[in-house]
Amino acid sequence: MQPIFYGWWIVASFFATLFLAAAIGATHSVFFKSIVEEFGWSRTAFSTVLSANAVIGALLAPLWGRLVDRHGPRGVVPAGAAIVGLAMVLLASMRSMLQAYLLYILLAFGAGGQSLVPISTALSQWFDRRRGLAIGIALMGAGVGGVALAPMASFLEGAFDWRTGYLFFGILIWVALIPLLLLVLRRRPQDLGLLPDGDEPSAATAGAKGPAEAPAVGLTLAEAVRTPTFWLIALGFMLPMFSGRAIMIHLVPVITDSGVSPQMAATAYGMTVGLSIVGRLGFGYAADRFSNRHIFALCYLIQAVGIAFLIGLDGVGPIVLIGFIVVFGCSYGGGLSLAPLLIAESFGIASMGVIFGALGITAMVGGAVGPVFAGAVYDATQSYHLAFIAFLAAQLIAAVAILNCRSPIAARAAD
């Protein structure tokens, strides 16, 4: 019986990482109205705090990617988790808008260390043919975490308060996640005498001390940014973040505004994130077998259909939320599985972490603007309707951008 390839233990550790990282998104949405009401802030004001969180996280993404490129994930991801835990514990004592800015920025700093950038960069060292599947399975952790942790956040808020919720999740990350990561994570399969995907060494290398390590190939960041593909991908990442992050941050307020109870709204949020398991695994699996660009565009088009259900919320009522949860949920997160595959396919893996981090900056520009835009639309009109129309248009433009991407590294190889 063949032993389990160690790379799958790396995947399992990242599944656990993203499971607990789902608490960040869950608390943003579930605690949103309670925090706004306690401090008397407008939705635009608090959305601006969360957008500052996104901007700082995006600006630091290349740093985390470069650290993994150079040193591997073993020190990087646990450090990010430690900072996230600290930020959540401190958020339990938040008393002012200034503290909110500082602590959510600290939270963003730590979250970058346990985000898709370092995780996909690390997994790209362990998997080649099965890269999409491996990243998809790891990303399922965020979906399962959304199902479990959003209702838990709502329960803690109802039974105690939102401060207790932050304290609980911060301590949980310290106690449960960090020791697991330090125990399991390794940099490369070659460090354990293995090859990516668990392949057997060839006859030419079998007698050597360990498998020969092929040099990583790919464009540098400076080379990548000079290609049209880089900017098409940037647009294809930015616009869905503009819509998706805004929708998920405001989702619990959207649902409770329609007359649904806070506990049911948190459950609906959890179901939306939970159904994203379908997208995170299914789209990554499909991209290993079909055109990544076409699967990526299909993912964005399905999300646009889900947003169309929200556009009908004012006229039809809460019943349309079922369609949104199923359609948007099943495609939400699919882009996260596909993004590292598209980057590796376009630019290679030699500088994947820093290129992904740079593209993450453009994505988070959208992620920063979207929630503030949605909050401002609500504050001005007492409805999110116009924001949802803009979000649907953003998804369609992103799909077109991704479809027009071409691989610079493939073109270089053909020359």
What pLDDT score was predicted for residue 201?
64
Domain-located, residue 364: yes
**Nearest alpha carbon to residue 68 among 358, 354, 363:** 354
Domain-located, residue 200: no
The whole-angstrom separation of Cα 149 and Cα 142 is 10
308 pLDDT more than 80? yes
What pLDDT score was predicted for residue 61?
66
Amino acid at 35: I
Label residue 124 left, alpha or beta by phi (over 0 means left) and psi (-120 to 50 means alpha).
Answer: alpha
Quote the mean pLDDT of the chain: 83
Quote the number of domains for the chain. 1
Q: Other C-beta atoms within 10 Å of 415: how many?
A: 4
- CA distance to 80, 93, 321, per residue, from 327 (Å): 32, 38, 10
What pLDDT score was predicted for residue 306?
92
Domain-located, residue 198: no
Label residue 3 exposed, middle or buried (CB < 10 Å: 0-12, 13-18, 19+).
Answer: exposed
What pLDDT score was predicted for residue 82?
93
What are 363-399's pLDDT values in tens digits?
A: 878 888 888 899 899 989 988 889 999 999 999 999 9
Dihedral sign computed on CA atoms, order 240, 245, 248, 251: negative
What are 229-287's pLDDT values in tens digits?
A: 999 999 999 999 899 889 988 888 888 888 888 888 888 888 887 787 777 777 767 77
- Residue 84 CB contacts under 8 Å (≥ 6 apart), including other chains: 21, 24, 107, 110, 111, 113, 114, 170, 173
What pLDDT score was predicted for residue 7?
86
205 pLDDT more than 50? no
- For the segment 323-349, the average pLDDT, to the nearest whole number, is 83
173 pLDDT more than 50? yes
Domain that holds residue 75: 6-193+217-414
Domain-located, residue 208: no
Q: What is the 3-state secondary structure (H, E, C) of the chain?
A: CCCCCHHHHHHHHHHHHHHHHHHHHHHHHHCHHHHHHHHCCCHHHHHHHHHHHHHHHHHHHHHHHHHHHHHCHHHHHHHHHHHHHHHHHHHCCCCCHHHHHHHHHHHHHHHHCCCHHHHHHHHHHHCCCCHHHHHHHHHHHHHHHHHHHHHHHHHHHHHCCHHHHHHHHHHHHHHHHHHHHHHHCCCCHHHHCCCHHHCCCCHHHHCCCCCCCCCCCECCHHHHCCCHHHHHHHHHHHHHHHHHHHHHHHHHHHHHHCCCCHHHHHHHHHHHHHHHHHHHHHHHHHHCCCCHHHHHHHHHHHHHHHHHHHHCHHHHCCCHHHHHHHHHHHHCCHHHHHHHHHHHHHHECCCHHHHHHHHHHHHHHHHHHHHHHHHHHHHHHCCCHHHHHHHHHHHHHHHHHHHCCCCHHHHHHHC
Q: What do you get for the CA distance between the two ends of the chain, in Å?
A: 45
Range of weakest confidence among 166-170, 177-181, 350-354, 405-409: 350-354
What pLDDT score was predicted for residue 139?
79
What pLDDT score was predicted for residue 208?
47
What are 114-162's pLDDT values in tens digits?
A: 877 788 878 888 888 787 788 878 878 887 887 788 888 889 988 899 9
Domain-located, residue 206: no
Residue 35's domain is classified under what CATH number?
A: 1.20.1250.20
Domain-located, residue 1: no
What pLDDT score was predicted for residue 204?
42
Q: Confidence band (pLDDT; 50, 70, 90) for 410? A: low
**pTM over 0.85, yes/no:** no
Q: Name the CA radius of gyration of the chain, rounded.
A: 21
Count the residues in the chain: 415
41 pLDDT more than 50? yes
What are 44-93's pLDDT values in tens digits?
A: 888 888 877 777 776 776 677 778 777 778 888 899 999 999 999 999 99
Domain-located, residue 203: no
Supply φ then ψ for residue 218, to 5 degrees.
150, 175
Domain-located, residue 210: no
Q: 142 near 21, Cβ under 8 Å?
A: yes
Q: Other C-beta atoms within 10 Å of 184: how many?
A: 17
What are 331-342's pLDDT values in tens digits?
A: 887 777 788 788
Q: Which two tokens stand for residue 230?
A: 């880089």
Q: Confidence band (pLDDT; 50, 70, 90) for 413? A: low
What pLDDT score was predicted for residue 65?
72
